[in-house]
Amino acid sequence: MSTLLIVALVGALAVVGYVLGVRRAMASADGDLRLLHSLKGYYGQNVALLVLVPSLLVLVIWMTVQPLLIEQSVLGMISNTDVAQGSSRSLMMADVRRVADGLDVAVAQGAMSRDAASDVRVDFTNVRERLASVGVAVGSTVTQSTLEAAQKFRALAATGNMIRGIVVLLIAAAGFGYALKQTDKDFRARNVVERGILVLLIAAASIAVLTTLGIVFSLIFNTIDFFESFPGADFFFGTRWEPSFSGRGGASDLGFLPLIWGTLYISIIALVVAVPLGLFAAIYLSEYASNSVRSIAKPVLEVLAGIPTIVYGLFALLTVGPLLVNIFGADGLLGVNWMSGGTAAMTAGLVMGIMLIPFVSSLSDDIINAVPQAMRDGSYGLGATQSETIRQVILPAALPGIVGAVLLAASRAIGETMIVVLGAGAAASLSLNPLEAMTTVTAKIVSQLTGDGEFNSPETMVAFALGMTLFVITLALNVVALIIVRKYREQYD
Amino acid sequence: MNDMRIVKRDVDMNDIKISAKGVQVYYGDTHAIKDVNVEIKDKTVTAFIGPSGCGKSTFLRCLNRMNDTIDICRVEGSIQIEGEDIYDKRVDPVQLRAKVGMVFQKPNPFPKSIYDNVAYGPRIHGLARTKADLDEIVEKSLRRGAIWNEVKDRLHAPGTGLSGGQQQRLCIARAVATEPEVLLMDEPCSALDPIATAQVEELIDELRENFSVVIVTHSMQQAARVSQKTAFFHLGNLVEYGETGQIFTNPQDPRTESYITGRIG
């Protein structure tokens, strides 16, 4: 039974339950609204909620757990000898899943009969070509064990889906019956619905949190795979980034240091640009600007935050890069030859700094405005000028919050990709010269995954390790920022 | 030169310190203060009383031009401190505020150490040549603020960690540290408990030896306890101004009588 059908049936049952719930409640009160404990709609909602929530919850859990269980049982069928060189168990498993899905698609399109699809002999059924003909590409030739595993996978999934449909519908029907039986003029439907809504809101909040966990887990497993085929010490402490794609042969140097160096260098240039400009803009806007100036300048500044980063990237590539070459390049204004091409750490850093100005300024502006007026009055009352007040009272009071804002900006700078791809170049180098091309972790993740390398090679899998490391770094920055911001918040409450 | 000033002060001890003539204050279109004339004496505590919104705080803030920080506020008329018009174009409001200190309704210590709070004004105005000078000013101010004994062992603890009454006395110490000639207090006890209030009132009485003190208060008992002169404001007008004893026992204006007996407010 397909998921869509189950959801549709449960939904229909909920609608029917709503109508019947309302009717039953009205009937129990002899049609007099005033005798009901709650408004009649609540009785209907109570039934609908009891039909929908438990059954759909079970459906979601089932859909998450079933593939895991099936994979566990199928995984046993793949023996170690079948795991091809340079591959891994989880990659084999991906193949199995792909073949199984492909067979389903083939049956659905009528390219294979149900019996042929259940056939387990590779040599006769010629699985790879047949699947290709219905638009499912399988990476390598399908081996006997893969096909057997795929067939087992299909069988288990089909049984699982059938049981799932029955269980979910039974739960929905049970909820339907129970809720209708409860419905009576004295039943406190309003209170029950209130609690139901609370549960729904909690569920919405937890989905956001669980997604974060999901992202972490999806990275973790691939990262572990990578470290099985590539030594961790070489990754974390290697000073050379020279991936060799399978076509050219030879071992790769996948050193993390040049990339994180590029990331930090470019981020620091960006922050050196963004923090003073953003902070001064915030001070002007919150302390000096008249209302009319602020009402125009603030939104205009915040428009900067709405520009897509790829546009900033083009700005770096077409305007800032050539401009810097005109100054620092050969035949440039300074008569030095420090810069050979437009793509450089400096180009990307400057443009990224411009991108970050609105983040710093708008967060700092809020924080400066949150400093109580009493602080300013106290300082002015002692004969301090405006800038003395800002320097000695307002900024120290707002400092923790401003540090938080800067850290948030920093984690954005570290995660930025497009400006780097277009502005900083692609060469990973451990150079101190900001006018030289550099690259960052994010830019390399893109290039490793979009290349034509095999998916199961360390050269590709390194992207997950890079992503995971970056995630940990930005997470740490965000946590520090949050702690600082929270500490600040307690000060004036 | 300092000595000469002290001698001079002794001579005209009961002279007029602040003289306001025909003061009008507008907040946008609202006419908040209507033609107020008042003469405040040196080394005296003058209390401003009156119902909420009568303009007493607004008038107080005119005396050190704190109203300049409010965009829509406009002040007309003349206010002279020792014969000098403080709204003259040549007067720097920042310098003026060093001379006319202010203590606010809610204690507002800066989020700095107790020492730095008191040293703030002297540092800005360059009153101390050496670190020892500054230490001396801080100690003297804290003693004048009647809080020295409580904080001498923790001068470098944050000022925000003190109790409300201590914070307010710290703010008074901070205000006297710049050696002002006039001390303005805007309901300095309204956020304090009775014990802290009593301490601050005692302190105000001591401050009278060195400063001219102007205090806005909602408590008529407080006005009666601490002040020598009282001004009663009502709806932006200065209704009556005179000796405190006379205002509370024998008011000339029926509105004053109604207010102090609790019939209007």
**Cβ contact A361:A284 at 8 Å:** no
Among chain A residues, the shortest Cα distance to B102 is held by A381
Q: Which residues 6+ apart lie within 8 Å of B243 measured at CB?
A: B228, B229, B230
pLDDT score recorded for residue B11: 43
Question: What is residue A141's predicted lDDT score, i.e. its pLDDT?
Answer: 65
Q: Do A392 and B171 touch (CB under 8 A)?
A: no
> What's B113's DSSP letter?
B
Name the burial class of residue B70, with classes exposed (0-12), middle (13-18) and buried (19+) by CB atoms within 10 angstroms of its CB: exposed
Residue B152 forms part of a structural domain: yes
- Please give the structure tokens belonging to residue A480: 């520090």
In a domain, B1, yes or no: no
B136 occurs within a structural domain: yes
Instruction: List alpha helices for A76-121, DSSP H.
Output: 89-109, 114-118
Smallest CA–CA distance, residue A384 to chain B, in Å, is 6
Can you tell me the distance from the alpha carbon of A95 to that of B241, in angstroms, rounded to the nearest whole number? 96
8 Å CB contact of A381 and B69: no
In a domain, B27, yes or no: yes
**Structural domain tally of chain B?**
1
Question: Cβ of B178 and A383 within 8 Å?
Answer: yes
Residue B235 lies in a domain: yes
Q: pLDDT tens track of chain A, all 493 residues? A: 688 899 999 999 999 999 999 999 888 888 888 888 888 889 999 999 999 989 998 998 998 888 888 888 877 776 666 665 555 666 677 777 777 887 777 777 776 666 766 665 655 566 667 777 776 666 666 677 777 788 888 888 888 888 999 999 999 999 999 998 888 888 888 998 999 889 889 989 998 899 988 888 888 888 888 888 888 888 888 888 887 765 455 567 888 888 889 999 999 999 999 999 999 999 999 989 888 898 998 888 888 888 999 999 999 999 999 898 888 887 777 877 787 788 888 999 999 999 999 989 988 998 898 888 889 999 999 989 999 999 999 988 888 888 888 988 998 899 888 898 888 888 888 888 888 888 888 888 888 888 666 667 778 888 888 999 988 888 888 888 888 777 766 555 4
Test A378 with B125 for CB contact under 8 angstroms. Answer: no
pLDDT digits (tens, 9 = 90+) for A293-321: 989 988 888 888 889 999 999 999 999 99
Instruction: Write down the pLDDT at residue A235.
Output: 86
| φ and ψ at residue A213, rounded to 5 degrees | -60, -40
Which segments in chain B show pLDDT lower than 50? 1-13
**How does pLDDT run across A63-81, given as a tens digit for each residue?**
888 888 888 887 777 666 6
Q: Closest-CA residue in chain B for A287?
A: B69
Q: What is the pLDDT of residue A84?
A: 57
Residue-level pLDDT at A249: 54
Name B252's Cβ contacts closer than 8 Å, sequence gap at least 6: B240, B242
- Residue B2 domain flag: no
Beta-bridge partners for B186:
B216
CA A160, A162, A165, A169 dihedral sign is negative
pLDDT score of A127: 67
Interface contact B106-A382, CB threshold 8 A: no
The count of CB pairs under 8 A between chains A and B is: 70
Give the pLDDT score at A81: 62
In this structure, what are the phi and psi dihedrals at residue A287, rounded to the nearest 5 degrees?
-110, -35
Burial status of residue A129 (CB atoms within 10 A of its CB: 0-12, 13-18, 19 or more): exposed
Phi, psi values for residue A306, rounded to 5°: -90, -5
- Residues from chain A that touch B96, judged by Cβ atoms under 8 A, are 383
- The Cα–Cα gap between B43 and B10 comes to 10
Residue burial A75-100, b: 16+ Cβ < 10 Å; e: rest = eebbeeeeeeeebbeebbbebbbbbb
A202 HSE (CA, 13 A, CB side):
7
B7 part of a folded domain: no
Q: Which residues pair with B36 in a beta bridge?
A: B23
Interface of A with B (CB under 8 A): 290-291, 372, 374-385, 388, 392-393, 396-397, 491
Residue A363 CA to residue A349 CA, distance in Å, equals 21
Query: Is the CB of A381 less than 8 angstroms away from the CB of B64?
Result: yes
Residue with tokens 């204690």: B107
Distance, CA of A405 to CA of A366 (rounded, Å)? 10
**How far apart, in whole angstroms, are the C-alpha atoms of residue B172 and residue A444?**
61
pLDDT for res A85: 55
pLDDT at B7: 43
Instruction: Identify the closest residue of chain A to B99 by CA–CA distance.
Output: A383
Find the largest Cα–Cα distance for chain A. Answer: 97
Per-residue pLDDT, B5: 46
Residue A454's identity, in one-letter code, is E
Mutation site, B57, B71, B124, interface A, largest A CB count within 10 A: B124
Task: Please report the domains of chain A, with CATH numbers, ordered by start residue.
Answer: 3-219 (no CATH), 253-489 (1.10.3720.10)
> Which CATH number covers residue B64?
3.40.50.300
* Terminal-residue alpha carbon distance, chain B: 48
Q: DSSP per residue over A410-468, as a string? A: HHHHHH--HHHHHHT-S-----S-TTS----HHHHHHHHHHSSS-TTSHHHHHHHHHHH
B240: domain range? 16-260
Contacts of B99 in chain A (CB under 8 A): 383
Best mutation target among B63, B94, B127, B138 (most A Cβ atoms within 10 Å) is B94
Close Cβ partners of B49 (under 8 Å, ≥ 6 residues apart): B56, B217, B218, B220, B223, B230, B231, B232, B233, B259
Tell me whether residue B121 is in a domain.
yes
Helix (H) / strand (E) containing A372: none
What pLDDT was estimated at residue B8? 44
- Cα dihedral A47→A50→A51→A53 (10° resolution): 140
Burial of A118 (0-12, 13-18, 19+ CB in 10 A): middle
Amino acid making up residue B50: G
